[in-house]
């Protein structure tokens, strides 16, 4: 049988790319899907198969694919130049827009990924406080920076007691010094978290928190947990750093608006790039001053060849201007509808499953009750196999999800796409019934 276009391309890829891919999130057997084109909320692969895209490049495409206004603005800028060893008005205009979205954003500094944004936030906290240790939630993903990734893949074999979670490296070869400088706290357990933090008072530069961490189960943080961390930071002169790379889509001001607290710094990425690589760190002027090059001695020198390039700045500004209050409310209402419809489908089929999330994000768990932290969200090998079956089933029925069975909605979607998702999910759950 003649190989498919994707099989042929994957064979070529394996000759020049480790495992045939440049990011492990797109790897699948027998080969990755290869995109040919996309528009709105639908993407077509090399074999001509069209799927509704609920992945949206790992929650980065808030308006779906190839939005006409973004395409036009980027095309116009591309004719004027894509990158300069000069600042541009595009950078200033986008910074003004983002700072106007949140009272917590006095100043902003752009970079090229969410990983870089978190890294810059942690380094800024260290430069500001003169301390080295970082506190983070067990299981939370914050990108590929050594200090931010500790314990994101912890398992029952190595995660230690809940009152003192172990510091578990992700990558082989992680220096012991990195492990020593990271304090791991449980999610949504206020008293235990504060007790752990108290043992390191005077040493912690920053508390890093994602308000609805995907790998912890896509569960919103509890208000008293967030307020306790904010209070502890204030009392102990630590920087409270929110990772809103994923969750900034949740309200016009970001998920931090759910809690009536303001973080000192906020890491941003994904949706603010309008489909292009982006990261940003925003926050209090007093702390952001560590980047200011007008000082005789700059506490944190920071540059990047493509930071604040006018293509990303233009695409991001247009995307976020389109994602106004009305668009946010419409998309969140669609998210509420999706989660409720999925709950009804689960009840109708009669299986042990649940759905978590908030705003325009949702995650389906093959567990009878919603998890409350990383340990209860952890998937056994058997559960992971069933989740993979469900994701593959949905793919075969024209639905593309993130491989944890997570969906990120886009403004290109309507209730029709949600109904298609729920219908395909129902048939998948029926096939799994008796195994969950």
Instruction: Specify the pLDDT at position 366.
Output: 97
Instruction: Specify the pLDDT at position 427.
Output: 97
**Confidence band for 1, pLDDT divided at 50, 70 and 90:** confident
Question: Considering the chain, what percentage of its residues have pLDDT values greater than 70?
Answer: 100
Q: Please check the confidence at residue 436 and state whether its pLDDT lies above 80.
A: no
Instruction: Specify the pLDDT at position 280.
Output: 98
The DSSP H or E segment spanning 33 is none
Instruction: Specify the pLDDT at position 434.
Output: 74
Domain covering 68-322 assigned CATH 3.40.640.10 in the classification: yes
Same fold yes or no, 33-62+324-432 and 68-322: no
The string of DSSP codes covering 144-209 is S-GGGSTTTT--TTTS--TTS-----SSTT--HHHHHTEEEE-TT-HHHHHHHHHTTTTTEEEEEE
CA angle 208, 209, 211 (to 5 degrees): 165
Q: Please check the confidence at residue 58 and state whether its pLDDT lies above 90.
A: yes
Tokens 């449980």 — which residue? 186
Instruction: Specify the pLDDT at position 321.
Output: 98
**Confidence band for 187, pLDDT divided at 50, 70 and 90:** very high
> Alpha-carbon distance 34 to 205, whole Å?
43
> Alpha-carbon distance 151 to 179, whole Å?
10
Instruction: Give which of 289, 307, 285, 306 is closest to 298, Cα–Cα.
Output: 289
Report the SS3 class of residue 134: strand
- Which positions ≥6 away from 347 have C-beta within 8 Å? none
Residues 157-173: tens digit of each pLDDT: 999 999 999 999 999 99
Edge-first strand order for the sheet with 399-400 is 35-39, 42-45, 50-53, 399-400
Q: Which residues pair with 365 in a beta bridge?
A: 354
Instruction: Specify the pLDDT at position 221.
Output: 98
Average pLDDT, the chain: 97
Q: Please check the confidence at residue 361 and state whether its pLDDT lies above 90.
A: yes
Q: Any idea where the domains of the chain sit in the sequence?
A: 33-62+324-432, 68-322
Q: Please check the confidence at residue 60 and state whether its pLDDT lies above 80.
A: yes
**Confidence band for 126, pLDDT divided at 50, 70 and 90:** very high
> Alpha-carbon distance 110 to 268, whole Å?
9
Average pLDDT over residues 410-418: 98
Instruction: Specify the pLDDT at position 89.
Output: 98
Architecture of domain 33-62+324-432: Alpha-Beta Complex (3.90)
């Amino acid at each position: 049988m003649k190989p498919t276009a994707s099989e042929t391309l994957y064979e070529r890829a394996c000759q020049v790319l480790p495992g045939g891919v440049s990011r492990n999130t797109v790897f699948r057997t027998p080969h990755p899907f290869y995109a040919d084109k996309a528009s709105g909320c639908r993407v077509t692969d090399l074999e001509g198969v069209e799927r509704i895209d609920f992945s949206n490049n790992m929650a980065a495409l808030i308006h779906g694919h190839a939005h006409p206004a973004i395409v036009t603005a980027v095309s116009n800028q591309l004719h004027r130049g894509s990158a300069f060893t000069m600042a541009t008005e595009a950078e200033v205009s986008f910074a003004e827009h983002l700072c106007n979205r949140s009272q917590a954003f006095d100043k902003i500094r752009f970079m090229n990924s969410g990983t870089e944004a978190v890294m810059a936030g942690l380094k800024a906290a260290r430069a500001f406080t003169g301390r080295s240790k970082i506190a983070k939630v067990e299981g939370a993903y914050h990108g590929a920076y050594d200090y931010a990734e500790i314990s994101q893949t912890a398992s029952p074999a190595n995660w230690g007691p809940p009152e003192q979670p172990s510091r578990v490296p992700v990558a082989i070869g992680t220096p012991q010094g990195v492990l020593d400088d990271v304090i791991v706290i449980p999610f949504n357990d206020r008293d235990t978290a504060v007790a752990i933090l108290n043992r390191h008072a005077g040493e912690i530069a920053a508390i890093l928190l994602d308000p609805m961490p995907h790998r912890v189960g896509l569960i919103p943080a509890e208000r008293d947990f967030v307020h306790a961390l904010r209070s502890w930071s204030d009392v102990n002169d630590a920087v409270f750093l929110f990772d809103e790379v994923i969750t900034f889509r949740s309200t016009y001001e970001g998920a931090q608006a759910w809690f009536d607290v303001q973080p000192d710094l906020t890491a941003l990425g994904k949706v603010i790039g309008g489909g292009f690589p982006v990261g940003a760190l925003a926050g209090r002027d007093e702390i952001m001053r560590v980047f200011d090059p007008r000082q005789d001695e700059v506490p944190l020198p920071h540059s990047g060849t493509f930071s604040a390039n006018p293509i990303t700045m233009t695409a991001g500004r247009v995307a976020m201007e389109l994602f106004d209050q009305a668009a946010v409310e419409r998309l969140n209402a669609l998210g509420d509808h999706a989660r409720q419809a999925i709950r009804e489908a689960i009840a109708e089929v009669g299986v042990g499953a649940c759905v978590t999330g908030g705003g325009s994000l949702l995650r389906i768990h093959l567990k009878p009750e919603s998890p409350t932290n990383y340990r209860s969200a952890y998937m056994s090998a058997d559960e992971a196999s069933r989740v993979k079956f469900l994701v593959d089933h949905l793919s075969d029925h024209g639905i593309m999800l993130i491989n944890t069975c997570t969906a990120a909605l886009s403004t290109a979607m309507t209730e029709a796409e949600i109904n298609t998702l729920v219908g395909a999910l129902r048939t998948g759950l029926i096939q799994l019934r008796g195994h969950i």
